[in-house]
Amino acid sequence: MFKWMTRRLPPPGAVFRWSCLPQPERLLELAESAASSPANAAELCDEFSAIITSIWINDVNKRTARGRLPLTLSAIVDALPRGIEKVRCLDLGASDGVSTHDLVCLLREQLRVPVSACAVDLHTRLIRHDGRWLREYRTSDGSPVLLRVGPIGLRLGRTLSFPPAELCRTLYLQWRRLRAGLRPAQVIPLIHPLAAGDPDITVREADALQHCPRFAGAFEVVRISNLLNLSYFSRSEIEQIVGHAVTYLAESGLLVLSKNQPNGGATAERGSVWRRTGAGLRRVCDFNGGFELRDWLRQFEAGETAARAAA
């Protein structure tokens, strides 16, 4: 679908909200306003996450919001041992990091110990490329996200259901000479002001499919929410990501996998928690029926070495 590019996101319920797309530059304004006026921060921050949710990259949506993972958070709090001295969390596929911030705040409040987190996502910024009469927004690895021509916007990061729009998208993406002539003009961070402003949260642009040796044994909690979807990854890729995650856990650390599944108009969170014991995992609990691909992960429960799984 072609969209009207608006300076702000129209309020929920506005008649033509579906036909509008906020300019990504609005994210910069929101980050600045949240820093300079903490009283309005919550409202500004929700607009920030709503704009991030409107972004698609390589047919993957960056959906995010404050308070989106309450059951996952409770399951983590319940499974952490009382008397733990510090909690280091890794959030894989963290989007703008606002749900990482929710996790850090809840653990600080409930456990009253130092809590830190590393939010990892494949895409943490957009680069605006300008031409004479158009703007294209790309990720730092060059994946196309959005095209803007005057007031009209066209999503480049997802297959479009409206055939004329999909034809324009395909033709534009094939127009290599024009696209190669565009010049980088501005960097737009996709990190939520609440996460960016928390000194105990670090953000890393990385691919969960690649093993990160620096993370080995470094975390009491590794959470992967709404990333391990069959529409994004094959079974072997999902097993690879989980295999890496197991190696990132400290002894007795928790692996938490969850997914928000459509349930009428709302979504229902389903997930499972495992504890690392030696080189394998032991399942601690399931909520709402457990993580949907739980049975695939039996190989890790059976105690197969994490190192072999990560190889």
Ligand X SMILES: C[S@@+](CC[C@H](N)C(=O)[O-])C[C@H]1O[C@@H](n2cnc3c(N)ncnc32)[C@H](O)[C@@H]1O
Which residues sit at the interface with ligand X, rule CB under 6 A? 60-64, 68-69, 92-95, 99, 120-123, 207-209, 225-227, 232
In angstroms, give the least distance from the CB of 120 to ligand X: 6
Least Cα distance to 10 among 28, 22, 27, 26 occurs for 22
Residue 195 Cβ, how far from ligand X at the closest point, in Å?
A: 11
- What minimum distance in Å lies between the beta carbon of 37 and ligand X? 26
- DSSP H helical segments within 129-183, as ranges? 163-174, 176-180
Quote the tokens at residue 189. 């961070």
Residue of closest CB approach to ligand X: 93
In angstroms, the CA 290 to CA 70 distance is 15
Rounded to an integer, what distance in angstroms lies between the CA atom of residue 179 and that of residue 229? 31
Beta strand pairing call for 144-149 and 135-139: antiparallel
Tokens, residue 116? 């830190």
Is the Cβ of residue 274 or residue 280 nearer to ligand X in the bound state? 274
Question: By three-state DSSP, how is residue 183 classified?
Answer: strand
Q: Which is nearer to ligand X, 227 or 297 (CB)?
A: 227
Q: Residue 32 or residue 207: which is nearer to ligand X going by CB? A: 207
Closest to ligand X by CB, 168 vs 215, is 215
Question: Smallest gap, in angstroms, from Cβ of residue 49 to ligand X?
Answer: 9
The residue (of 227 and 306) whose beta carbon lies closer to ligand X is 227
Neighbour count for residue 106 (Cβ, 10 Å): 16
Closest CB 12 distance from ligand X, rounded Å: 19
